[in-house]
Structure 1
Amino acid sequence: MNVVNEQVIIFHINGLAQMSKHKDIHKYTIEFTENFWINLLEVAGHGNVKQFIIQALKVALEARTIKSLILCGGKGTSFRPLSVATPAVMLPIGYQPILEYSIDLLRKHALTEIFLSVGYRKEHIQYLITEKDFPGVNLGFISEEEPLDTAGAVLNAKKQFKSTFLVMNGDLITNLDLSKLLEFHRTVVKEGGIATMFVLEHDDSQVELNKEVNQITSFVNNSKKGFNYVNAGVYIFEPEIFPYIDKQVSSLENDIFPVLSEEGLLYGYLPETQVYWNHINSPKKYKEGWADFLSGKLDF
């Protein structure tokens, strides 16, 4: 660690570690700059620093075991003629394509095992990955030989996911705290749920949410029922979701989520604080994305 003209705070943690077949107590020394230490105390509180650091490390390590799938195989027909030669997720907003915002978000939260479900004009996406450097990230491709829609793309990637995994649409930009989403999902599993959906209050709504228990009680895609929440396109799934998907099922939104909500297996995560979110599925939303970039709203 490079420290220039700053006092260094020495902090000791007694950690419990399991080494081969026996347990032992290990002492660790961590050095913080004074400014970092002050910020840490503000977040953790004076009496909780040790537990705060241990919990933060635990969350980071658990995140590294979770694999992610970004859905980017669609043709983006609503963007034509812009999407004739390139996938919609590769259209630029600012200095990078839309897809790269999702990769950056996952990497920020230590979710570094990422698969891209690619189909239409997939060579453009593969070129991005070979030309760009994403430090610490392992990126893989899963090809859709024919358009699979959202559920089909998840089923196509089944062999990669043996435990909890994350799925997100490739055509959205958000600064959602994925660490909090994962923490929420752990409580969902304890309640017997197998799927968590990121939801927001929105006029274009599909979701009926029981806020007392955070359970989605009804899901109707393109609903006109006056529901108050929208599916925001980021999900945490357990492998138990796969029996609900077969080769005849194509859409998470039309085929899977309505069934899971009826069976009490689908929960909704509504962030406590405001988040940025833009589902860029139309020229209007694309224009809004550029306006937000120029105004500095995308400086996450």
Structure 2
Amino acid sequence: MKALFLAGGLGTRLKPITDNLPKPMVPIMGKPLLERNIEKLKRHGVDEILLSTCYKPEIIKNYFGDGSKLGVKISYITEDEPLGTAGAIRNAAKYIDDTFLVFNADILSDIDISEMLRLHMERGARATIAVTRVANPSAYGVIEHDENGFVTAFKEKPKPHETRSNLINAGTYIFEPEILDEIPAGRAVSVERETYPLLLQKGYRIAIYDRCSYWLDLGTPGKYLKAHKDILRGYHHLYGVNFNEKRQYISPTARISRTAKVIGPVYIGDNVIVGPFAFIGPDTVLGDGSVVGMWAKVIGSVVWNDAQVGFGASVVDSMVMSNCRVDSYSDKYNTVLTEQTSRPITV
């Protein structure tokens, strides 16, 4: 089975993280989110990946290549201009001849793809939409359904008295190939505002999959930090990362001074160096090759691969991007630190 990742967004709300990096390449525990999601799909038997790219596509292609290092086949469809969710799906039509999966590439979730596919087939649906519950649906496009799990209406940002549903689109779909014929080619098209209402009007059977217990759109720096804290605390299981009883993952190649203090939950990657009397955690991630100097303190923060926290520095509730150096004795709170600048986090 083929899976299409919509990976062309600009990631505007995630700036400055995405100033020079496509949103799907933002690291989760040291690996790009897109790589984490591809690894998850492999466990469900998906071995052919389509990547729809637009913003800085060369970064994605240079990292993944043909997919052989991950044991999958990867093909690329690059947009000259953004085509929207449905437009990007239509743009991949020449690669698709059977039931296929579609994913927004910036989502972290626990959706069971095998179960979702089974329900799609059992119901004879032409499209199945994964949904998630929200407390206040008035800020979203809401999906209403009948007792058999089929969509009856799509309502855009309804007022509280206008719907009884609190289900919204979770950015994961299963489509039959004939759906592609209903999407106009060559222009921007929204799957939520145009395609789904049209399919419903034409009588297509659209099902929902509502068994998702964890879902997060990594749309802002605050949500990015939340994703890591949720993984560290066990609210979301990330395949391939196994914590001990103290909620600590420490690579065997990490070098941690005997006088340093590490308090879980923490993730410490390969070849990390933690100096004497440093204080790490809780809710902290140190990416591969990062360095924390003597007497430095890192709490509630995500430090990317190959970054450095200088002697006596404090980094709290912040992000330190790759190859960035935090000056010695400096204090960084609620900040995104890049090579060029630091900006407050918007939660």
TM-score, with normalisation over the residues of structure 2? 0.62
- 1:245-264 matched pairs, under 5 angstroms: 245-247=183-185, 248-264=187-203
Cross-structure match for 2:103: 168
Q: Write the distance in 2 (CA, Å) between the matches of 1:141 and 1:240.
A: 22
Name the SS of the counterpart of 1:220 in structure 2. strand
Show CA shifts across 1:210-267 (max 9, x none): 3411111111344444431011111000111122210345110111112223444221
Show CA shifts across 1:131-153 (max 9, x none): 98644311111111211111111
Counterpart residue identity of residue 170, structure 2: A
Cross-structure match for 1:185: 120
Cross-structure match for 2:131: 199
Is the contact made by 2:39 and 2:70 (CA closer than 8 Å) also made in structure 1? no
* Higher mean displacement: 113-122 or 211-220: 211-220
Q: Write the distance in 1 (CA, Å) between the matches of 2:27 and 2:156.
A: 28
Name the SS of the counterpart of 2:65 in structure 1. helix
Show CA shifts across 1:185-217 (max 9, x none): 11232xxx3110011222335333334111111
- 1:5-16 matched pairs, under 5 angstroms: none
Q: Write the distance in 2 (CA, Å) between the matches of 1:92 and 1:135.
A: 16
Show CA shifts across 1:152-171 (max 9, x none): 11011001111111101000
Counterpart residue identity of residue 275, structure 1: S
Is the contact made by 1:174 and 1:278 (CA closer than 8 Å) also made in structure 2? yes
Higher helix content, 1 or 2 = 1
Select 1:269's aligned residue among 199, 205, 209: 209
Is the contact made by 1:116 and 1:139 (CA closer than 8 Å) also made in structure 2? yes
Q: Write the distance in 2 (CA, Å) between the matches of 1:176 and 1:286.
A: 19
Q: Write the distance in 1 (CA, Å) between the matches of 2:74 and 2:156.
A: 31
Q: Write the distance in 1 (CA, Å) between the matches of 2:148 and 2:55.
A: 40
Is the contact made by 2:144 and 2:167 (CA closer than 8 Å) also made in structure 1? yes
Cross-structure match for 2:17: 82
TM-score, with normalisation over the residues of structure 1? 0.71
Q: Does 1:69 align with 2:8?
A: no
Work out the percentage of aligned pairs sharing the same amino acid: 36
Cross-structure match for 1:105: 40
Structure having greater relative contact order (Cα 8 Å, sep ≥ 6): 1
Q: What's the offset of the Cα at 1:130? A: 3.5
Q: Judging changes above 3 Å, is the alpha-carbon distance between structure 1 residues 249 and 142 closer, same or farther for their aligned structure 2 residues?
A: closer
Count of aligned pairs:
230
Q: Write the distance in 1 (CA, Å) between the matches of 2:158 and 2:59.
A: 34
- 1:146-165 matched pairs, under 5 angstroms: 146-165=81-100
Cross-structure match for 2:55: 120
Q: Alpha carbon RMSD of aligned pairs, Å?
A: 2.1
Cross-structure match for 1:42: none
